[in-house]
Structure 1
């Protein structure tokens, strides 16, 4: 684990508006900046309520964002973005919409292709358009980060782009926008937000400057997730989860996730399992596996979630599994339609995600990954 003296770079949007009823502040900010043409990137549901953003001028809406978007979905976005010639691009939705907005902001009108910008720091700047992010779920924290992911359908692998040029000029986090999120989705996305915090907290690159966001984000999920699942209109609980999601996003830039996300990604790319649901199912298995390498921090994580555990794998697994299962989350791969015959291919895919596995506090071999999938089946 990192010491206080280890160099670290902290990034976050230039302006963050947080609180119930803040969605309309985006339109006022955009007007003050003089933006006349705006492109909103969204799914069909959120496209039906863009009026809450109070945008002025010419507004073009792309409403075909798909869950776990692939390169074909991005190509559609870029075609609309190039035609709209927007001065401001807005991601309005979950992580998929916000990631596509990031990529559109740097690729529309650019000579660079997606494959030329994959990886860290390959985007040529400066960005030519403004970028705003408005999350409508509490999970990905994408509004705060500098990474975007799309799936390559040919390889079924996530293509990850990382660049400071994809950092939002403004993030508007209005918890009221999440009131309509169904209970099952609330549970899964809430565990995703918590997983960002936990994986950063127990990470090989963990740093005290990020730990404060990570452990507080975990506490917020422990305090408010069950409440929001039970009552979607609980404003305090929704605000707590929105803040936890933001904190998780703040962890991703300087530290990033680790083994949990690496094992969750093949569920989405191969079987189109929603990202939050995939992370929730995998979370107890990887947290328990990592316990010997991060015993003290794991115990702090479970305390933040309201559980007292011993410093052993079985105790941690039982408590973490109970936390997720009691939220009504499907905790078996078979229950999500993943066939047992695909576990080997999934293990190969996960083991190849070195950018995350190399962050894990305990080495995960290909055999370890296959064993976790078998246990989760």
Structure 2
């Protein structure tokens, strides 16, 4: 295959610990590094259980990460970092916390503003240590080099990519996800799956990443319904954490495609949780791409435990049913999205070229609008 001749770079955290009970390694590692001053970036729930990290010395917590972090949210975290001057930044939470932690680790003292580092590899460096501890199985952000924040002025996401935002240590402990409620488990699980599916069917797909992508999809197919039905199912939780991690591996060298581009305005403009937005869009974009990705589309369905097919109608109906069986509301109208907003969202999604240029089939603004209407 000619894909084997195309160069690809794989970046991983310097050290990755995976498994039940591994969260204790965070404090142990920090002590080995001589850390005495730490800033933890988290949401409200995780701010209350920072003690599980066992961090030494002075620990300050920024516990106000929003589900869709924006520039004011980032600015507040950066202001705290300027005060604390930490030796270590710890992202502790879902993808939003991990994304903010990356920026908090590289921006203070750098002389660079966020807008100066938007895009690939514009960050000059990093003076502090960075540890990432995910508490949801969705984004796989602990494994990657990207961070996304929303600009309230434009209601669009700003994407920063830098090898300097790669964690020194990532600890993936499924026990930290046991309290995640069924609805969030379902939505974040579909987000992990979407990362894998979009990378697998991308124009930039690569055999080195296909391995992780297809196995990530299989793990979601095997474990997501189990974890939604019984949140205390440790094996299912661990399986989803691995799927999320593999999805994170897919993001760096390959990235997502139309699914995420079409989902983004649902988050930034309609404030639908990112995983839920991905679920709403997933059946429609996978079906749209099926004619040019017949073999891989059939493999995706098979990996999810569905009958293999590349027929657009069958693909749409079976994957829609897969998401609906998880209890995910699959109608935009039921989530309060006004029909009048669909056209402007389609125009906005069509402008996200960094993702749409990866899509295996060219998609117009009119075709994106048709997807929104079908999902309405």
- State whether residues 297 and 309 of structure 2, in contact with CA within 8 Å, keep that contact through their aligned partners in structure 1: no
Deviation track 1:324-370 (CA, whole Å, cap 9, x = no partner) reads 01000010111111100000110011001000000001111111100
Q: Which residue of 2 aligns with 1:44?
A: 44
In 2, Cα distance between equivalents of 1:139 and 1:50: 20
In 1, Cα distance between equivalents of 2:355 and 2:219: 25
- What do you get for the CA RMSD once the two structures are aligned? 0.8
Q: CA deviation at 1:5?
A: 1.4
Q: Which residue of 2 aligns with 1:149?
A: 148
Q: Which residue of 1 aligns with 2:274?
A: 275
Q: CA deviation at 1:311?
A: 2.1
**2:367 partner SS:** helix
- Quickly say closer, same or farther: Cα 1:64–1:205, change in 2 above 3 A: same
Deviation track 1:145-200 (CA, whole Å, cap 9, x = no partner) reads 00000000000000000000100111001000000000000000000000000000
Report whether the alignment pairs 1:324 with 2:323.
Answer: yes
**1:260 partner SS:** helix
Moved over 6 A (4+): none
Deviation track 1:265-311 (CA, whole Å, cap 9, x = no partner) reads 00010011100000011000000000011010000000000011332
In 2, Cα distance between equivalents of 1:155 and 1:266: 11
Q: CA deviation at 1:2?
A: 5.8
Unaligned segments of structure 2, at least 5 residues: none
Deviation track 1:31-86 (CA, whole Å, cap 9, x = no partner) reads 10111110000011001011111101110100010110000000000000110100
- Following superposition of structure 1 onto structure 2, how do residues 363-374 of structure 1 map, counting pairs within 5 Å? 363-374=362-373
In 2, Cα distance between equivalents of 1:33 and 1:2: 44
In 1, Cα distance between equivalents of 2:102 and 2:334: 33
Q: Which residue of 2 aligns with 1:79?
A: 79
Q: Which residue of 1 aligns with 2:56?
A: 56
In 2, Cα distance between equivalents of 1:330 and 1:45: 24
In 1, Cα distance between equivalents of 2:188 and 2:77: 24
Report whether the alignment pairs 1:229 with 2:228.
Answer: yes
Q: Which residue of 2 aligns with 1:238?
A: 237
Unaligned segments of structure 1, at least 5 residues: none
In 2, Cα distance between equivalents of 1:81 and 1:120: 24
- Following superposition of structure 1 onto structure 2, how do residues 131-150 of structure 1 map, counting pairs within 5 Å? 131-150=130-149
Q: Which residue of 1 aligns with 2:333?
A: 334
**2:307 partner SS:** coil
The count of corresponding residues between Structure 1 and Structure 2 is: 376
In 1, Cα distance between equivalents of 2:3 and 2:262: 28
In 2, Cα distance between equivalents of 1:361 and 1:166: 29
**1:128 partner SS:** coil
- Following superposition of structure 1 onto structure 2, how do residues 133-212 of structure 1 map, counting pairs within 5 Å? 133-212=132-211
In 1, Cα distance between equivalents of 2:108 and 2:340: 40
In 1, Cα distance between equivalents of 2:2 and 2:347: 30
- State whether residues 2 and 206 of structure 1, in contact with CA within 8 Å, keep that contact through their aligned partners in structure 2: no
**1:133 partner SS:** strand
Q: Which residue of 1 aligns with 2:352?
A: 353
- Quickly say closer, same or farther: Cα 1:2–1:211, change in 2 above 3 A: farther
In 2, Cα distance between equivalents of 1:31 and 1:205: 41
In 2, Cα distance between equivalents of 1:240 and 1:57: 34
Report whether the alignment pairs 1:91 with 2:91.
Answer: yes
Deviation track 1:186-236 (CA, whole Å, cap 9, x = no partner) reads 000000000000000000000000000000000000000000000000000
In 2, Cα distance between equivalents of 1:203 and 1:12: 21
TM-score when scaled to structure 2?
Answer: 0.99
Q: Which residue of 2 aligns with 1:34?
A: 34
Q: CA deviation at 1:108?
A: 1.3
